[in-house]
Amino acid sequence: MSGEFAKENILKEQEALASGSSHHAQRLRLLIVEDDEDVRTQMKWALAAECDIALAGDRASALAELREQKPSVMVLDLGLPPHPASVEEGFAVLAEALAADPFLKIVIVTGRSEKEHALKAVSGGAYDILYKPIDIGELKTILRRAQHVSTLERENAELQMKSQDDAFEGMLGTSARMQEVFATVRKVSSTDVPVLITGESGTGKELVAQAIHRQSHYRNGPFVVINCGAIPENLLESELFGHEKGAYTGAHVQRKGRFELADGGTLFLDEIGELSLTLQVKLLRFLQEQVIERVGGRDQIRVDVRIVAATNKDLKQAMQEGKFREDLFFRLSVVSIYLPSLKERDDDVLVLAHAFLQRAVRENRKKITGFTQPAIAAIAAYPWPGNVRELENRVKRAVIMAEGRKVKPVDLELEEPAGRFEGMTLRSARETLEREMILKVLARQKDNITRAAEELGISRPTLYELMEKLGIERK
């Protein structure tokens, strides 16, 4: 590498360090890969007060130091021996270093004559590029930012790995609410009582039903699903209970329904709130007597089936309106499991986003390493009305559409958070946004907690918890 640091820059930086202006800067582990010994020394002098520095002059020593020192940031000269006049060795170090540590942030230092290689370096995974002569103040700012991004990505990856270790039957969730769901599933699975799962659309009700099945003594039997709202009422009875030959026009053969197909296993009745009153009576009879009759038949058929039902409707309101039988409700809801919406699940959204990203990357064979900081902030700030299903679909699309190595807000079809959050940690930005929203809604609802919780789309206990956490006094 040719060229030198301007001496006045080094002096200014050393004076600033001596005066204590960098006292609060967090030390970072830095690897400087540079073939010019004088420049390596100058850079070490300028940065040693706030960095733990390792030095390397070629590819072999750079990779050895990377394995040994495990730096979070690397400064890399593209021109390295044995071909210092070309960029071949520099790009080899870039590729091999990122393969060894995908969270490493690499700042390329290059001469103006090599400017045409900048785009290739960034597309190859470089965090940033600096051209000679280097301004140390600018370099230090870039290094601090790079360290911050690397730290965030590593923490998110650790959180994701911990969550995968704690995954329950394929479901991820570290929040207290999801841990309560998992605990209830474990308890209810050892019985054969009916279970009613409630919650907004997209929260994962079928996943919970599958978990109940796999944890129960019905696990070796079939898991049969039927969406009561997706089949016309005149066909749904036959789908559920089967029919005899000649039962109606077009019934040319005898056919078993979902109840018989699920014998010895679990029948998952999704969108149970869409069931007609007539079919509710037949379902109630099965729950009471464990027998069914096919359409057009008279024989009573005994089946051993565990019933798990789900709905996103308010069945208590449906009962008041005469649309759902009260006796059936109490039969179905011997145990009721409420699935919280994504915005009620604390930091689970980022855990799920990273898990969906890794899955989509594998499925689509893409070389994407993660989310950009603005994307992480946008994910945390977005309310996710479509819950987990919407998050998964947006991440899948983003992986397909992303052109760089990181998913950006535009890939997720989300807007970048306002500039007022710049410089904040993710937790600080989220708490700021939550506090503002809660205060506005409380003012609009004249401090009525029930109405405020309804407008925010969360439960009263959740709102009380948030208010206490954010220091909002009750009035």
Class of domain 426-470: mainly alpha
Dihedral over Cα of 430, 433, 439, 443: its sign: negative
First to last CA, the chain: 66
Topology match between the domains 7-162 and 176-340: yes
Strand boundaries in 242-368, DSSP class E:
266-270, 291-292, 301-302, 306-311, 335-338
7-162 belongs to CATH 3.40.50.2300 = yes
**What pLDDT, on a 0 to 100 scale, did the predictor assign at position 160?**
57
- The residue among 381, 443, 439 whose CA lies nearest residue 412 is 381
343-417 belongs to CATH 1.10.8.60 = yes
List all residues 6 or more positions away from 397 whose beta carbon is below 8 Å from its beta carbon: 411, 412, 413
Considering the entire predicted model, what is its pTM? 0.57
* pLDDT, one tens digit for every residue, the chain (475 residues): 444 444 444 344 444 433 333 334 458 899 999 988 888 888 898 898 889 999 999 999 999 999 999 999 999 988 888 888 788 888 999 988 988 888 899 999 877 555 567 767 877 788 888 887 888 888 888 898 888 888 877 776 666 555 554 567 778 887 888 989 999 999 998 888 999 999 999 999 999 999 999 999 999 999 999 999 889 888 899 999 988 887 777 777 888 999 999 999 999 999 999 999 999 999 999 999 999 999 888 889 999 999 999 999 999 999 999 999 999 999 999 899 999 999 888 668 888 998 899 889 989 888 888 888 788 888 888 888 899 999 999 999 999 998 888 898 889 988 765 555 666 666 677 777 788 778 877 877 778 888 888 777 777 777 888 888 888 887 7
Q: Could you tell me the two tokens for 141? A: 């700012």
**What pLDDT, on a 0 to 100 scale, did the predictor assign at position 116?**
66
**What pLDDT, on a 0 to 100 scale, did the predictor assign at position 117?**
74
Decide if 338 contacts 118 (C-beta within 8 A): no
CA atoms of 320 and 47, how far apart (whole Å):
72
**What pLDDT, on a 0 to 100 scale, did the predictor assign at position 32?**
94
**What pLDDT, on a 0 to 100 scale, did the predictor assign at position 315?**
93
Q: In this structure, which CATH number among 1.10.10.10, 3.60.90.10, 1.10.3720.10, 3.40.50.300 belongs to the domain 176-340?
A: 3.40.50.300
Q: Which long-range contacts (CB under 8 A, 24 or more apart) does 11-15 make?
A: 12/136, 12/137, 13/46, 13/136, 13/137, 13/140, 14/45, 14/46, 14/49
**What pLDDT, on a 0 to 100 scale, did the predictor assign at position 122?**
76
- Three-class DSSP category at 463: helix
- The residue among 271, 265, 310, 308 whose CA lies nearest residue 287 is 308
**What pLDDT, on a 0 to 100 scale, did the predictor assign at position 161?**
56
Residue 141 main-chain phi, psi, to 5 deg? -65, -45
**What pLDDT, on a 0 to 100 scale, did the predictor assign at position 368?**
87
Decide if 13 contacts 136 (C-beta within 8 A): yes
Name the residue ranges covered by the structural domains of the chain.
7-162, 176-340, 343-417, 426-470
Give the number of other CB atoms < 10 A from CB of residue 137: 13
